[in-house]
């Protein structure tokens, strides 16, 4: 393949709203990465989730399901789950497969404390290899907890304090948790 150095991803998505407060989406994709270009997880999650077969060419079937439920005018719950079935396409591991999972769940509450504000709390699991042929899967995984509160200062100016914690950073078990605090200013026109 000439384009993109041989790497490509094709994705399709179907969205469905069975009832006014509920939305569901299903995504299906296929990716191919030639030798020495593999990055299945977009540089998130474990090293094994990024390159389950080291630098060998890899194909990946991707499946995702997501949904959100508008509980009230102010509260929404949302979640998604992602699955990748990866297959080695070159080298001594040709034909070996790996299963990679990730997920997230969150809640958003509008107008809490001030009209126009948004409190959001999210948690999730970074991409993790749960099964793989020819080697051990990830023994542990990184989890994320994020909280932020967006405060409108004017109709167009917002201040957002927040932070997140990555537990078992890097999925190694011996790594320290990662704490990040933020203060963001947004201007919307």
DSSP symbol at 176: P
What pLDDT score was predicted for residue 2?
Answer: 42
Q: DSSP characters for 147-167?
A: EEEEEESSSSEEEEEEEEEEE
Range list of H helices, 27-110: 47-50
What pLDDT score was predicted for residue 34?
Answer: 93
Place of tokens 């299963």: 99
List phi, psi (to 5°) of 34.
Answer: -65, 175
What pLDDT score was predicted for residue 139?
Answer: 85
Q: Nearest Cα to 177, choosing from 150, 140, 151? A: 140
What pLDDT score was predicted for residue 123?
Answer: 98
State how far the Cα of 8 lies from the Cα of 5, in Å rounded to an integer: 9
DSSP symbol at 90: S
Domain 3-187 superfamily per CATH: Porin (2.40.160.10)
State how far the Cα of 15 lies from the Cα of 22, in Å rounded to an integer: 11
What pLDDT score was predicted for residue 54?
Answer: 93
Query: How many helices and strands, by DSSP H and E, does the chain display?
Result: 1, 9
Residues of the chain with pLDDT under 50: 1-2
State how far the Cα of 30 lies from the Cα of 11, in Å rounded to an integer: 7
State how far the Cα of 66 lies from the Cα of 19, in Å rounded to an integer: 15
What pLDDT score was predicted for residue 85?
Answer: 98
State how far the Cα of 168 lies from the Cα of 188, in Å rounded to an integer: 36
Give the predicted TM-score (pTM) of the model: 0.86
What pLDDT score was predicted for residue 173?
Answer: 58
Place of tokens 């150095």: 5
Residues 6+ apart with CB under 8 A from 149: 112, 117, 118, 119, 120, 160, 161, 162
What pLDDT score was predicted for residue 1?
Answer: 41
Place of tokens 């993109």: 4
Name beta bridge partners: 60.
31, 86
């Amino acid at each position: 393949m000439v384009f993109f150095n041989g790497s490509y991803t094709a994705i399709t998505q179907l969205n469905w709203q069975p009832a006014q407060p509920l939305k569901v989406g299903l995504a299906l994709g296929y990716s191919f990465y030639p030798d020495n270009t593999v990055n299945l997880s977009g540089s998130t999650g474990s090293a094994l989730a990024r390159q389950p077969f080291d630098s060998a060419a890899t194909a990946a079937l991707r499946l995702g399901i997501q949904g959100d439920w508008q509980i009230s005018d102010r509260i929404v719950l949302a979640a998604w789950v992602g699955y990748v079935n990866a297959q080695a396409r070159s080298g001594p591991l040709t034909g070996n497969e790996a299963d990679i999972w990730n997920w997230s769940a969150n809640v958003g509450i509008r107008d809490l404390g001030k009209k126009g504000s948004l409190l959001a709390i999210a948690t999730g699991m970074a991409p993790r290899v749960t099964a793989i042929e020819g080697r051990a899967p990830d023994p542990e995984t990184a989890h994320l907890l994020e909280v932020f509160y967006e405060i409108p200062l004017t109709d167009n100016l917002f201040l957002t304090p927040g932070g997140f914690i990555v537990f078992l950073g890097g999925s190694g078990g011996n790594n320290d948790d990662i704490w990040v605090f933020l203060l963001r200013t947004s201007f919307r026109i």
